[in-house]
């Protein structure tokens, strides 16, 4: 079983996305176990403070090192082989290749920030820093659920058809999925491409390949 732990100030954030569709089924089937850990539980002062003002001034507050590092240690105590990932806009960009790499680990621990981010010293206690992309979210939780969802659907036994994951966008580096069509054959005057109705599998395969390459070139290398 793949073990995912999430270090967060908002465990309730994960209730809905983990209780429907593919993640729900993967959890029910015992393929993945997901545990949230409340970082605030590791704050030792009477107000359970997890944030503080930045040295040197500037806006906002930072996640304090003591409770965050204590929560990382608790996660490692529970799952000694876990791979601890800090979610941060300054991390390496998350990709399908990274998702494939992470599912080979016995499990992951996803560390979610809030406020203006983490005290820099916390970086020394994680294995890796990952960003979802070059934009700023209000917290690590939306990034963590994206990473977790991408991992879950790659775990063996999760998708009804394992072929789906192999044919998805990015299974081949840099290549997007081709366009798909279902019934009706004509929708508001827009026809399904003739080749898809031809029954000629070689022609269909070659059309899909060309479409995927063109789309990848136009949308990713432009
Ligand atoms: N001051 C930080 C900066 O400019 O990089 C942004 C902090 S953001 C408001 C709060 C938290 O959201 C971060 O600590 C991180 O955990 C999460 N976060 C925001 N954008 C993210 C992204 N693109 N990828 C991963 N995590 C992100």
Q: Is 161 exposed, middle or buried (0-12, 13-18, 19+ CB in 10 A)?
A: exposed
The mean pLDDT value for 68-83 works out to 98
- From ligand 1's centre to the CA of 139, what distance in Å? 6
The mean pLDDT value for 36-42 works out to 98
What do you get for the CA distance between the two ends of the chain, in Å? 41
Which two tokens mark 186?
């004509």
The mean pLDDT value for 174-185 works out to 96
The per-residue pLDDT for 156 is: 97
* Rounded (10°) angle between helices 21-28 and 140-152: 60
- From ligand 1's centre to the CA of 90, what distance in Å? 8
Domain boundaries for CATH 1.10.1270.20 within the chain = 174-219
Query: Exactly one of 35, 51, 66, 116 is catalytic; which is it?
Result: 116
CA–CA gap between residue 95 and residue 72 (Å, rounded): 24
For residue 215, CA distances in Å to 21, 111, 133 come to 29, 35, 20
The mean pLDDT value for 92-121 works out to 98
- pTM score, whole prediction: 0.96
- 2-152 CATH pick, 3.40.50.450, 3.40.1280.10, 3.50.50.60, 3.40.50.720: 3.40.1280.10
Q: Which fold has domain 174-219?
A: 1.10.1270
* pLDDT band per the 50, 70, 90 thresholds, residue 107: very high
Beta bridge pairs of residue 128 = 85
Q: Cβ(176) to ligand 1 under 6 A?
A: no
Domain boundaries for CATH 3.40.1280.10 within the chain = 2-152
Do residues 181 and 193 touch, judged by C-beta distance below 8 A? yes
Closest-CA residue to 43 (of 9, 77, 10, 12): 9
Do residues 27 and 148 touch, judged by C-beta distance below 8 A? no
Does residue 15 have an active-site annotation? no
The per-residue pLDDT for 12 is: 98
- From ligand 1's centre to the CA of 115, what distance in Å? 8
The per-residue pLDDT for 222 is: 59
């Amino acid at each position: 079983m793949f073990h995912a732990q999430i270090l967060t100030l908002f465990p309730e954030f994960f209730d809905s996305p983990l209780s429907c569709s593919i993640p729900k089924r993967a959890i029910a089937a015992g393929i993945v176990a997901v545990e949230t850990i409340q970082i605030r539980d590791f704050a030792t002062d009477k107000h359970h403070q997890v944030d503080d003002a930045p040295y040197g001034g500037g806006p906002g507050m930072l996640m304090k090192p003591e409770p965050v590092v204590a929560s990382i240690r608790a996660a490692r105590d529970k799952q000694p082989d876990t791979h601890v990932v800090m979610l941060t806009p300054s991390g390496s960009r998350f990709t399908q290749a990274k998702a494939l790499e992470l599912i080979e680990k016995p499990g992951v621990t996803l560390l979610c920030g809030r406020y203006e981010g983490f005290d820099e010293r916390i970086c020394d206690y994680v294995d890796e820093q990952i960003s979802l992309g070059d934009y700023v979210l209000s917290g690590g939780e939306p990034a963590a659920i994206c990473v977790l969802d991408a991992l879950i659907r790659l775990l063996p036994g999760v998708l009804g058809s394992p072929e789906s994951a192999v044919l998805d966008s990015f299974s081949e580096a840099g290549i997007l999925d081709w366009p798909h069509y279902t019934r009706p054959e004509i929708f508001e005057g827009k026809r399904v491409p003739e080749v898809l109705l031809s029954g000629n599998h070689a022609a269909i395969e070659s059309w899909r390949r060309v479409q995927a390459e063109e789309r990848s070139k136009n949308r990713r290398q432009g």
